Amino acid sequence: MAIDLKSLQKNRAKAPRILIHGGEGVGKTTFACSAPSPVVIDLESGLGVLEVPHVQPDTYIEVLDVINALIEQEHDYKTVVIDSLDALESMITIETCTRNKWSSISEPAYGRGYAERTALWTPLWVALDKLRDVRNVIIIMIAHSQIVKVEDPVLPAFDKHTPHLYKTETAKATEWPDVVGYAMIKTYVTADPVGKSEKVARCRATSAGERVLLTTSNPAYTAKSRYPMPEEIPLVWDEFVQYLKNPLKINRGK
């Protein structure tokens, strides 16, 4: 196939796609709702006292209907928040079983149920990409975290915080976004000697309540960024967004 080099175009920056995962009550939803003009697809009634526009679909098909409405209809929303992906996975599980008349996702042999559920996520990713292309809105997905054991062929097995999704869904959910951040309350561990021997110590964890977002890949947690960012940022939208607006200006010491 002949290629005309004059037809090549410069890449145009688009609104960021973001996944935030972490433990309960760390501030993931508050962070997401601090983004500009948000609308929340609230799948687990987790807004609490946050007064933001939201919709509560009951099924996976209704979630897709909401996204398509945001694509097709005029609106002033600049951020779409999905809270949470774990709840969405449960909806997709129900949809998969209903379509196939299974009593559970593990009913069919050889993992077929899980494979079909993974395939059913595809319309979501397609719709979200179209939403970003048509409306140029920020997309923020929220997920809880789980600890999984990683069997590495080079290193001994180790534990890692990852989004609380099935392994194939986790792979796509972390590949698709431009930023994957691990949200946590910063914790400090001190070792207090036990008895008269300083060789035996009891570890004690303390925290000042400082909430942070970790953005760089680490064996202990899943994270990444396609923007130059510090490894650790306060879990505050105004702190985070400066690295999206001016990605070349970065202060590693912050």
CA dist., res. 177 & res. 127, Å (int): 14
Please check whether residue 5 lies inside any domain of the structure.
no
CA dist., res. 90 & res. 178, Å (int): 24
The domain that holds 149 is classified in CATH as 3.40.50
Residue ranges of the chain with pLDDT lower than 70? 1, 11, 190-201, 203-208, 246-254
pLDDT at 216: 94
Which pTM value belongs to this model?
0.87
pLDDT at 252: 39
Please check whether residue 250 lies inside any domain of the structure.
no
Cβ–Cβ < 8 Å for 148, 24: no
167 by Cβ neighbours in 10 Å (0-12 / 13-18 / 19+) ranks as exposed
Please check whether residue 218 lies inside any domain of the structure.
yes
Please check whether residue 8 lies inside any domain of the structure.
no
Please check whether residue 1 lies inside any domain of the structure.
no
Cβ–Cβ < 8 Å for 138, 18: yes
Please check whether residue 253 lies inside any domain of the structure.
no
Cβ atoms within 10 Å, residue 119: 12
Please check whether residue 232 lies inside any domain of the structure.
yes
Which amino acid makes up residue 195? G
Exposure string of 27-40, with b = 16+ CB inside 10 Å and e = fewer, is bbbbbbbbbeebbb
Bridge partners of 190, per DSSP, are 204
Provide the residue range defining the domain that includes 66: 14-245
The two tokens of residue 208 are: 């000042």
Cβ–Cβ < 8 Å for 129, 101: no
pLDDT in tens, 42-59: 999 888 889 999 999 999
pLDDT at 207: 63
Which residues fall within 8 angstroms of residue 166, CB to CB, at 6 or more apart?
89, 114, 117, 118
Tokens 């149920």 belong to: 113
Looking at the 3D structure of the chain, how many domains does it have? 1
One-character DSSP codes across 163-186: ESS-HHHHHHHHHS-SEEEEEEE-
pLDDT at 4: 76
CA dist., res. 192 & res. 199, Å (int): 10
The two tokens of residue 214 are: 């970790």
Cβ–Cβ < 8 Å for 211, 235: yes
pLDDT at 199: 60
pLDDT at 251: 43
The two tokens of residue 159 are: 């534990």
